[in-house]
Amino acid sequence: MEIKLPDNHKRTLSSSLLLVEKSLTELNELMLKHNDMCCSEVVSDVDNDITDAKRAKIWKILKDTLSGKIKGYGTFPKKYVSEYDSDIGKLIEITNRINY
């Protein structure tokens, strides 16, 4: 089913997902940082604390995007709550599996 959200909720969700994408991009760059020189050893040494911090930031953003948390932007359409929260929940599950 297609979820049609009010503009306020669309903006909130879009902003949150942009922040999540930015954090994932930063995390990806940290994990895949390498030297482009020929014949160099690729060392992927990312501190676990950095990974945990990035994952926690993403987790918090997603948790704050659940329908019950964004009610300050207007009444969330009841017919979409279950599916919307389920989709955000799936993103949270994926975030919980991020590790290095």
Q: Rounded mean pLDDT of 26-51?
A: 69
pLDDT bracket for residue 29 (50, 70, 90): confident
Out of 1-5, 10-14, 31-35, 57-61, which region has the weakest mean confidence (pLDDT)? 31-35
So where are the chain's domains?
Answer: 7-31+45-96
Say whether pLDDT at 95 is over 60. yes
Query: 42-93, pLDDT tens digit by residue?
Result: 555 667 787 888 899 999 999 999 999 998 888 999 999 999 999 999 999 9
Q: What is the pTM of this model?
A: 0.78
Residue 84 CA: distances (Å) to CA of 14, 57, 66, 76, 87: 13, 20, 8, 10, 5
